[in-house]
Structure 1
Amino acid sequence: MSQASASRPAPRPAPRPAARPEAWRAVGRCAVASTSLLVRGRVRQPRSRVGRVVRFADGTQGRVYRETVVARVPAEPCFLAVAFRLRWVHGPRGHAVFRAESLLNTPLFVGFPGFVSKLWLAADERHVYRGLYEWDGAGRAEGYARSLWRVLELVSERGSIDYRVVPGLTRDEALARLVPTGTGDAAPDDGWWRVVP
Structure 2
Amino acid sequence: MGDQRPLAPGEAWRAVASCFLATFALLARHRIRLPNERVGMRLRFADGTSARVYRETRLGSGLAKDPCTLVVTFRLRLVRGGPGHTLFRRESLLNTPLFVGFPGFTSKLWLAHDQQGRYRGVYEWDDPQRAEHYARSLWRVLALVSVPDSISYAVVPGVHRDDMITGSGLAEGLVSPDATAWWRVQAGV
Q: TM-score range by the shorter chain?
A: over 0.9
Q: Does 1:78 align with 2:54?
A: no
Contact 1:117 1:133 in 2 (8 A): yes
Whole-Å separation in 2 of the counterparts to 1:94 and 1:118:
22
Contact 2:54 2:110 in 1 (8 A): yes
Distance 1:182 1:46, change over 3 A: closer
Identity %: 56
Q: Does 1:144 align with 2:134?
A: yes
TM-score, reference length from structure 1: 0.89
**Shift, 1:188, TM fit:** 7.1
Contact 1:120 1:130 in 2 (8 A): yes
Alignment match, 1:126 = 116
**Shift, 1:84, TM fit:** 0.2
Q: Does 1:113 align with 2:103?
A: yes
Contact 2:23 2:97 in 1 (8 A): yes
Whole-Å separation in 2 of the counterparts to 1:130 and 1:169:
18
Cα displacement string for residues 128-182 of structure 1 (whole angstroms, at most 9, x for unaligned residues): 0000000000000000000000000000000000000011000001002242446
Q: Paired residue for 1:39, among 9, 28, 31?
A: 28
Alignment match, 2:184 = 194
Q: Paired residue for 1:20, among 9, 18, 22?
A: 9
Identify unmatched segments of 5+ residues in structure 2. none
Whole-Å separation in 1 of the counterparts to 2:14 and 2:40:
35
Alignment match, 1:9 = none
**Shift, 1:187, TM fit:** 6.8
RMSD (Å), alpha carbons: 1.5
Aligned pairs for 1:93-108 (under 5 A) are 93-108=83-98
Cα displacement string for residues 47-99 of structure 1 (whole angstroms, at most 9, x for unaligned residues): 11101100001000000000000015422011000000000011100000000
Q: Paired residue for 2:163, among 160, 173, 177?
A: 173
